[in-house]
Structure 1
Amino acid sequence: MSKKNSLLIVCVTTALTIGSVATANAEDNVTLRFADWMPESAFTTTYGAKAFMKKVDELSDGRISFQYFPAEQLGKGSEALTLLQSGVADIANVAPAYLSEHLPLSAVVELPGMVTDSCTAAEKFNDLVQPGESLYEAEYKRKNIRPLFTANLGPYRILTNGQNLSTPLDISGLKLRTAGGAMAMTADRLGANPIRMQGSDVLPSLSRGTLDGVFWGLISVEDWSLETALDQMVPNLSVGSFNVTYSISDRTWEKLSPENKEILTKAGQYANQNHCDYVNRAEKEAISVLEEKHGISPLYLPEAELKNIQEKLTQVHKDWAEPLEKRGLPANAVVEQML
């Protein structure tokens, strides 16, 4: 037996022993184990996960409580489904980008131009992962999980170092870090060389010149100290995005009372809005901070050029959807529903 499998069995046994799955301490009292791969300092943790838990506590008068495990304490983002399906966690941060083999359609938010406003994107995506809707039926239902709310990280932008862009088409031949998947296809379409790497490796790669730039969310630049190695940004072209869903296992959901299900649903709606409001507000502030404090020059595309590039990038939508359609997945329909 592998070390990884042995560890998983120990975790499952421990979780069941202490009663992780919707443990009823009294008739209506429930404790839920919450696995999150993001650190407590992340804005998505503050405005998403913690806001959700606080609202649940408020709506339930403390009858629903959480054992919260941030920063990969129970497992990495790529292990979120296993944590839910095994019973190690009741709720987990499920990032489709880390689980593309399991949730390929959910990568729709990574397509260029798909996300220009975090709230619009989060609301549309959240609608699609509700029971009876296309994404839920095609992906989440089959994995025995149910999204409670979506946290969209806003549009990703092009940022470079030492390139003096006059148009995004100038990135042809540049080595740019992307999140892989659809973002890599976008970089290819613009003529760049997409490089997939962990966030922790980006700053040293920029500093050494082994990267020329990044596809990155502006509100996360300072979090990773990338402002020291970037000098130009394109704030009005969306080259993709990143979504997470905070999902509950069907095993746990079915054990909850109708009242507690309603509380989690309402708290999810609140957290969905709270998080996207922050993202939209923070990006506007980030543009000013990056320019005025860190000297990162903005390149705003004229409307005609922006439209021309966006039309060019719609081919990425088709290239992404085609192989999924061949697998019998409703990729084209999901694209249309998100636009």
Structure 2
Amino acid sequence: MKKNLIILMFVSLFVLMVAACSGGGSEPSNSEGASNEGNDSGEAANTGETIKLRVATGLSEQHGWWQGFMVPWMDRVEELTDGQVQFEGFAGGELVEVVQEPDALKNGTADVAILIPFYHENLFPASSITFLPVSFTDEFISGDALNKLMESDVALGDTGKTYYESHYGDNGFKTWALNAGAVYSISTTGHEFNSVDDVKGISMRTPNLLFELMAKNMGVNSVSMNIVEAFDALNRGAFEGIFHTVADWTGAGFQDLLTYTIDDLFLGSSNGVFAMTQETWDSLPSNVQDAMNQAQQEMYENGIQEWVTRAEETRAYNVEEAGGQFISFLDLPEDVQQHITEANVKTWYDYIDFLESNGNPGKEIAILWRDLLIEAGGDVPDELMNLEDY
């Protein structure tokens, strides 16, 4: 009898082991079993239950960051995870208004969102750094420099933190570069810059504090507002022009309003990022994290090309349909060129002073951005090559 009891115990134990190995038909949770091991194709394996994420922006559905990057990025992540991740996209303020995105991520309204960091300089104090005016850049140069700025391991200031750590990590965000957008210039509803007096005294929309400094140095009256509000204001004549990029005119409806643009005036580039909270990121399986990183890397240059294509199409439309004209900066009167160039150089120093007066390592960040931009193929005025001595 004792022998039979022992045999029965072994049989029962064996049955329990078989049941445990089979998993009982249940799916693993989001944090379990996420691995790419054994996946020779390099694509993320579908190792967990479906993950549904809300992606939001206050920008329009036609905006280059949404249409040219976020939508393809979402599609690629879904493909890489074999449908394990499913996105629900909300654009045009349907879920979140422009400037509300950081709060929306923090309170759970959205899981992923486009951030416009230079609209939130209290959170991201040096995020306007990419707008510093230079002698030459383009979309790919600025985009390359932005990516390297986000990935830089250079310790800045007394804290010894990198740009990414001080701006995004410390705020609880996992963040990727979208791209640097397109190069900014000056456009007006017809006001021409034929003399220095034509520059001084006009009113122009400025997107952030750095452009307010730039406008002041040029003698331009600054009207600060976000791009969504700027169309109505420009249409009713609240100001004569804007600091903006031709590539984004259609996203804001400017293509029929602006008829005079200064070409070859490289007033830096915007910088878009998209983010989730670090808590959300940490909750995702590693195969999903890998897929998101891979998709960002694959989509990055395509997102930049979107701006190049938009700029070409918008320029052609503006000239042919709206009577617009594009004037090279080098064809402006020499005193106008000199006035604007001196204002641009002074803007670098003013921005450094502003950052440092608020406890941020202004000179170090400016030097880092200058060097990254030059490394990527851009150029700056000679006066800025001795920033180390400032």
Per the TM superposition, whether the score is higher than 0.5 is: yes
Which amino acid letter does the alignment assign opposite residue 272 of structure 1? Y
Indicate the residue corresponding to 1:300 in structure 2.
328
Is the CA contact (8 Å cut-off) linking 2:31 and 2:284 kept in structure 1? no
Q: Could you tell me the TM-score, scaled by structure 1's length? A: 0.83
Distance in 2 between the 1:60 and 1:103 partners? 32
Aligned length: 319
More deviation, 68-77/231-240? 68-77
Change (3 A) 1:164 1:149: closer
CA shift, 1:145, in A, is 0.6
Q: Deviations over 1:269-321 (max 9, x none)?
A: 12322111111233233333322332111111228959744354121111112
SS at match of 1:264: helix
Tell whether 2:354 aligns with 1:323.
yes
Give the aligned CA root-mean-square deviation in angstroms: 2.8
CA shift, 1:107, in A, is 1.5
Is the CA contact (8 Å cut-off) linking 1:23 and 1:30 kept in structure 2? no
SS at match of 1:53: helix
Distance in 2 between the 1:201 and 1:77 partners? 10
SS at match of 2:281: helix
SS at match of 1:299: strand
**Which residue, 301, 310, 313 being the options, matches 2:344?**
313
Runs of 4+ in 1 over 4 A off after TM superposition: 22-26, 303-308
Which amino acid letter does the alignment assign opposite residue 70 of structure 2? A
**Which residue, 284, 290, 295 being the options, matches 2:318?**
290
CA shift, 1:56, in A, is 0.7
SS at match of 1:58: helix
Distance in 1 between the 2:197 and 2:307 partners? 27
Q: Deviations over 1:175-219 (max 9, x none)?
A: 111113111111111111111234455445444443121112112
SS at match of 1:221: helix
Distance in 2 between the 1:34 and 1:262 partners? 18
Which amino acid letter does the alignment assign opposite residue 364 of structure 2? A
**Which residue, 189, 201, 204 being the options, matches 2:217?**
189
Change (3 A) 1:296 1:144: same
CA shift, 1:39, in A, is 2.3
Indicate the residue corresponding to 1:277 in structure 2.
305
% identical aligned pairs: 22
Change (3 A) 1:171 1:287: same
Indicate the residue corresponding to 1:88 in structure 2.
109
Indicate the residue corresponding to 1:108 in structure 2.
129
Indicate the residue corresponding to 1:146 in structure 2.
174
Q: Deviations over 1:223-271 (max 9, x none)?
A: 4333433321102112343222011211111122222211110111123
Q: Deviations over 1:129-185 (max 9, x none)?
A: 238452112111111112123232211211123423236773211011111311111
Indicate the residue corresponding to 2:81 in structure 1.
60
Distance in 1 between the 2:103 and 2:228 partners? 25
**Which residue, 200, 225, 231 being the options, matches 1:172?**
200
Uncovered stretches (5+) of structure 1, i.e. residues with no partner: 1-21
Indicate the residue corresponding to 2:66 in structure 1.
45
Q: Could you tell me the TM-score, scaled by structure 2's length? A: 0.73
Distance in 2 between the 1:222 and 1:167 partners? 30
Which amino acid letter does the alignment assign opposite residue 44 of structure 1? W
Indicate the residue corresponding to 1:218 in structure 2.
246
Matches within 5 A, 1:2-41: 27=48, 29-41=50-62
SS at match of 1:108: helix
Which amino acid letter does the alignment assign opposite residue 310 of structure 2? A
Indicate the residue corresponding to 1:117 in structure 2.
138
More deviation, 321-330/272-281? 321-330
SS at match of 2:349: helix
SS at match of 1:226: coil
Uncovered stretches (5+) of structure 2, i.e. residues with no partner: 1-29, 33-45, 155-161, 371-390
Is the CA contact (8 Å cut-off) linking 1:93 and 1:246 kept in structure 2? yes
CA shift, 1:66, in A, is 1.2
**Rg bigger for which structure?**
2
Looking at secondary structure, tell me which structure has more strand per residue: 1
Is the CA contact (8 Å cut-off) linking 2:248 and 2:310 kept in structure 1? no
Change (3 A) 1:323 1:210: closer
Change (3 A) 1:270 1:310: farther
Is the CA contact (8 Å cut-off) linking 1:116 and 1:238 kept in structure 2? yes
Change (3 A) 1:230 1:39: closer
Distance in 2 between the 1:36 and 1:203 partners? 18
Change (3 A) 1:114 1:246: farther
Is the CA contact (8 Å cut-off) linking 2:131 and 2:269 kept in structure 1? yes
Matches within 5 A, 1:245-256: 245-256=273-284
Distance in 1 between the 2:263 and 2:234 partners? 20
Indicate the residue corresponding to 1:98 in structure 2.
119
Is the CA contact (8 Å cut-off) linking 2:65 and 2:303 kept in structure 1? yes
Which amino acid letter does the alignment assign opposite residue 252 of structure 1? T
